[in-house]
Structure 1
Amino acid sequence: MPNDRLRDAILRNGMTPALIAEKIGVDPKTVERWITQDRTPYPRHRHAIAAVVRESESYLWPGAVTPEKASRLGQNEVVQLYSRRSSVPYELWRRMIDMAQERIDILAYAGLFLVEQDPRLIDTLRQKALDGVSIRILLGDPDRPAIERKSVEEGAPGVMAAKIRQVRQYYDRLEGTQGVEVRYHDTTLYNSIYRFDDEMLVNMHVLGFPAPHAPVMHLRRLSGGDLFSTYADSFDRAVMVSYPIGREEVAA
């Protein structure tokens, strides 16, 4: 059975099996066997390939990394744990945004603080998109019951929907920019996720506490780890059930 994940990752990065073989120092026929016969490379080769194609070992070879090892690696993916989001240094947010070269993913209800703490954010995101960075922003649908329930749980009825509509005024300025998607979701958020290439800030949601007062994990992806990929998969699931923001609402 062929390893379609490995084949797709190689092609997606504009490479060939022969080029992969050259980069990691093996025979091209060996790489072909890894793909067509789904043979598992030695760990040193798995590490090298995963780094070249920017995918995790656990994704390319699900059976190669034991759950125990993936769990240990996942623990090492935690760079820092902040007791509350308001403790995360602004410089860290700015560095991750500025350094992103492939993707910026945001999953939140509103995330208004991002544009409030950085008036240049919209211009920065527009330039990032023009430079080829994929930008996906998922906001809570202010007309859905879950949003008002969240506001009530935080003791501020109506506030969350108002924040979403306010942040929309900023993100509307990105409309028409190639590479930028701003969509709605109505999923139950257990965490807000802010991904910048292989780094991520995960803002946990705690019942009765506004997001600025809830903990944040700073994660950095490691090949073979499973913690970063868990939240990356969660974001992808939210994308699958998200939907475009209606133009009629924008006009209103």
Structure 2
Amino acid sequence: MSNERLRIALARSGHTAASLAQQVGTDPKTIERWVNKGRVPRLRNAHAVARVLGVEVRHLWPTLNGRSEVSGPVGSDLVAVYRQRSDVPIETWKTMFDQATESVDIMVYAALFLHEQISDWNGLLRSRARAGVRIRILIGDPACDAVRTRGEEEAFGHGIESRCRLAHMHYRPLLGVDGVDIALQATTLYNSVYRADGEMYVNTHIYGMNAYGNPLFHLHRMTDNGLFDAHAASVDAVWCTARPLTGEIPDGSD
């Protein structure tokens, strides 16, 4: 059985079996066995490959270290579960979006960490849009009840409303950029969703806890109507309820 995840990651990276073998210190035939026959490498080699390809090691080999992939068509999309969002290195986030070739979807209230921790986040989005990637960004309307309620639930008060306004300020320079659509949404977010092509991070929301400390699911689309498609459909549904972002930021006053 072949390793399609490794095959896709290899193709996206621009590496060949020979160039990857040179990077990780093995031979091309070994790489081909990992790809074509689904062989699982030693831990050291697995981490070296993941590092060169810019993906997570358990995305390429979910069974590594005896951890079995969740069985069934739904669970096959699940790559990894993190105790909290902050456990994922920011370079991993950047690589996922930077490698997008078709679409990027972001559905959040603010997610300021993207602008604060990824150098020139807006520039990255412009670059992807120029390459033909369709980009949709949904951010929270600071004047809506759902945002106010989330602030109360997280004991963050008006802080979350302020963060939404700051997100609007960050994204306003992208207004009018071809291929980039930004909208305000006023729904209750049970999950924040970050998608780049067939890769997705789903940040759950636990009552009373800030998003960065909540569990994160890494999904890779491997089957129809699985976990990935379910969350992608939720983004589409919320997008239909949203209104385009303008240069004017809602002040949240009654």
Q: TM-score, length-normalised on structure 2?
A: 0.68
1:122-137 aligned at under 5 Å gives the runs 122-137=122-137
CA contact (8 A) 1:151 1:160 kept: yes
State the partner residue of 1:113: 113
Output aligned runs, 1:183-222, within 5 Å. Answer: 183-222=183-222
Bigger shift: 221-230 or 176-185? 221-230
Q: Which residue of 2 aligns with 1:235?
A: 235
CA drift of 1:192 comes to: 0.2
SS, match of residue 192 in structure 1: strand
Q: CA deviation at 1:225?
A: 5.1
How far apart in 1 are the matches of 2:169 and 2:245?
13
Superposition map of 1:102-181 within 5 A: 102-181=102-181
Distance change (3 Å), C-alpha of 1:248 and 1:212: closer
Tell me, in whole angstroms, the C-alpha distance in 2 between the residues paired with 1:225 and 1:167: 32
CA drift of 1:120 comes to 1.4
Q: Would the aligned equivalents of 2:172 and 2:247 in 1 still touch at CA under 8 Å?
A: no
CA distance in 2, matches of 1:191, 1:248: 27
- Of structures 1 and 2, the one scoring higher in RCO (CA 8 A, sep 6+) is 1
**1:94, CA displacement in angstroms?**
1.2
What residue identity is the alignment partner of 1:77? D
Counting aligned pairs with the same residue, the percent is: 39
Which whole-Å CA distance do the structure 1 matches of 2:225 and 2:175 have between them?
36
TM-score, normalisation: structure 1: 0.69
One-letter code aligned to 1:205: H
Cα drift, residue 128 of structure 1:
0.8
In structure 2, the partner of 1:35 is none
Residue 226 of structure 1: aligned partner: 226
> What code does the residue aligned with 1:193 have?
V
Structure 2: distance between partners of 1:226 and 1:131: 29
More deviation, 229-238/112-121: 112-121
2:212 aligned partner, one-letter code: P
1:105 and 1:235 mapped to 2: Cα distance? 8
CA distance in 1, matches of 2:218, 2:232: 13
Ranges of 4+ aligned residues in structure 1 off by more than 6 Å: none
TM superposition shift of 1:246: 4.0
Task: Give the residue type in structure 2 aligned to 1:153.
Answer: E
Does structure 2 retain, via aligned residues, the 8 Å contact 1:72–1:225? no
Distance 1:135 1:224 in 2: 22
Gaps of 5+ in 2: 1-70
Which amino acid is 2:163 matched to?
K
Per-residue deviation at 1:91? 2.1
* Structure 1 CA distance for aligned equivalents of residues 124 and 215 of structure 2: 27
Matched residue, 2:64: none
Range moving further from structure 2, 145-154 or 203-212: 145-154
Deviations 1:136-170 (A, max 9, x none): 00011001122111111111110111011111111
Counterpart contact for 2:139–2:167, Cα < 8 Å: no
What is the Cα deviation at residue 223 of structure 1?
Answer: 2.8
d(CA) in 2 for partners of 1:223, 1:143: 38
List gaps (5 residues or longer) in structure 1: 1-70
User: Per-residue CA shift, 1:213-252, capped at 9, x if unaligned?
Assistant: 10000000013351111001111101111111244448xx
- Distance, in Å, in 2 between the alignment partners of 1:145 and 1:98 is 34
After superposition, the C-alpha distances for 1:172-214 in whole angstroms (9 at most, x for unaligned) are 1111100101100111110000000001000001100000010
Partner Cα separation in structure 1 for residue 195 and residue 85 of structure 2: 15
